[in-house]
Chains A and B, each alone.
Chain A
Amino acid sequence: MNKVKPKKTLHIKLVRHLREWHRTLGIWAAFFLIFLSVTGIALNHTERLSLAHQTITSTLLLDHYGINSPNDVRFYQDNRLILTNNLIWLDKKLLVEISSRFVAMGKFKQLWLVATDQYLFLFNEAGELVDKISVATGLPSAIVTMSVAQNNVIIDTSKGYYQADDDFLTWQAIATLKEPSWLQPSDAIDQQIMQAVELYRSQFLTWERIIVDAHSGRIFGLFGVIFMDIAAILLILLSLSGLYIWIRYANAKR
């Protein structure tokens, strides 16, 4: 009988300590569990919530992720068409990402035109891609610059000037008496440049990325990951201590 008593007191002491631990740990764990549950639910419904399409505009977060400003920012057509590096925008809508050298852009009748040295992109008023004309589909190669007048579109290429028909299906080599007025970038105020820079940078950071990184702790780098790992270990300990207390309680009840 004397041998059993110290064992019992040890168990009672352990359970008492565990209960205190469990309670304190539980309060802290509640914050993590709520945070992980909310971010987890959001990630489970990424498509429905269209998190991958919602861009981040916070300069703090963009700076934190090291997203650089574009080197080349140009405005055309009353500053409605914007070039930021290789991205072309109509107002705030992303029209296209170009992979060849940018030449010029402007408006012709109901169409927005974007010319690169290899392609001519046609967009309707709503910014939907109407056609992407390439050398393979009749576009003269190596475009140097473009002119958009009221009734015609002329491009300057390494082989001379070409004029498009109304539907941009054929290109006719031409000679002009008067030099066409080639499209030039327009001036923009600082605020417009800042907005264009923000538009460009925000393309590379979405809510999905932020939530994934917050969920894993990566948003704070290696420290965040280690912190989340420790939090996960504490949650495991919490579960184990809870189970132990419950088993002891169930045994005592019997």
Chain B
Amino acid sequence: MNKIFFTLLLFCCLQCSALAKGVYQTSEQFIVHAFNGDMPSAKVLWLSKEDKLLIAEIMQHKFNRLRLRYWLKDNETVWVLEEIGKEKPITVGVHISKNMIAELKVLAFRESRGDEVRHEFFTSQFRSASIDNKNKLSQHIDGITGATMSVRALKKVARLALWLHKKVLISS
């Protein structure tokens, strides 16, 4: 009896970890949704040495890419960024309007734990968030027990997208 119980328990645990992984929305679907059915062509933001240093400060690790792509329409931008939660990258879509986050969504989650961050109850906290002069989020984001790394990754992505949006608007 005990053997059956433990086998079932193990099966359930494995199922939970398998369910955590997944692609919830494609970047194309996210962009089309953000721009009310339009799909503007992608643009490229080239990053200077100073930009990369600042991004490294936001992301708290070295950032070595020379360019990032984004989608722009009527001063609104969409960014599809990746950041590692614990071991694998989480793909996040961020729609920014009027220097504030209009929507933040987890597009793909590859870790075995911490996928609670994809739920609306968590991502809705980012709505209307902006960044201050020190590139910190203007509002508090409640954490999730057991998903600390994923929460941290999403907060970093949100800050980065807001900073990138500002940079795009200033340079254009």
Contact = CB atoms under 8 A, between A and B. Distances in A.
B80 A137 contact: yes
Interface in A115-134: 124, 128-132, 134
Nearest to A167: B44
A132 B68 CA distance: 9
Interface of B: 26-28, 41-42, 44, 64-69, 80, 82, 91, 107-108
Contacts of A124: 66
Contacts of A40: none
A169 B64 contact: no
Contacts of B82: 134, 136
B107 A129 contact: no
A136 B94 CA distance: 13
Nearest to B93: A136
A170 interface: yes
Given A130-B67, A137-B80, A169-B69, 16 more contacts: A124-B66, A128-B64, A129-B64, A129-B65, A130-B66, A131-B66, A131-B67, A131-B68, A131-B69, A136-B27, A136-B80, A136-B91, A137-B69, A138-B69, A167-B44, A170-B41
Instruction: Select the residue from A134, A137, A170 with max chain B CB neighbours within 10 A.
Output: A137
A132 B65 contact: yes
A138 B42 contact: yes
Sorted nearest first, the 6 A-B pairs with minimum C-beta distance are A136-B91, A169-B42, A130-B66, A136-B27, A129-B64, A129-B65
Nearest to A169: B42
A129 B108 contact: no
Given A169-B41, A169-B44, A136 B67 contact: no
A129 B64 CA distance: 6
Instruction: Select the residue from A132, A136, A137, A167 with max chain B CB neighbours within 10 A.
Output: A136
Nearest to A131: B67
Contact of B108 (A128, A130, A131, A136): A136
Contacts of B65: 129-132
A80 to B, nearest CB: 20
